[in-house]
Amino acid sequence: MSKIPLDIQKLANSRDFQPSVRIGKSGITDSLVQEIDEQLSRKELVKIKINRGLFQRDQIKQVWQHLSTETNSNIVISRGNVCVLWR
């Protein structure tokens, strides 16, 4: 994992930075991973939110790690059901 710049960390923690991807009842699909990858290519920073109750609490970290690996990105912040990826 590369060192994440301070300005990226500040933006990721900003309340004004809204989720652009929401994971719903369909879960993690190829099209979802592709959408996240495309958004990372355009914006470099993507905030993702998982609907509550979709995954168990201990599974959520594995979901973030999986998405990070699949999209070749870094996890800037992961707090509960919200994660910010950066590439």
Per-residue pLDDT tens over the stretch 30-83: 999 999 999 999 999 999 999 999 999 889 999 999 999 999 999 999 999 999
In a domain, 40, yes or no: yes
In a domain, 27, yes or no: yes
In a domain, 43, yes or no: yes
Q: Is 64:82 a contact under the CB 8 Å cutoff? A: no
The pTM for the full model equals 0.91
CA distances from 12 to 2, 6, 61 (A): 16, 10, 17
Count up the domains in the chain and report the number.
Answer: 1
Distance between start and end Cα atoms, the chain = 11
In a domain, 1, yes or no: no
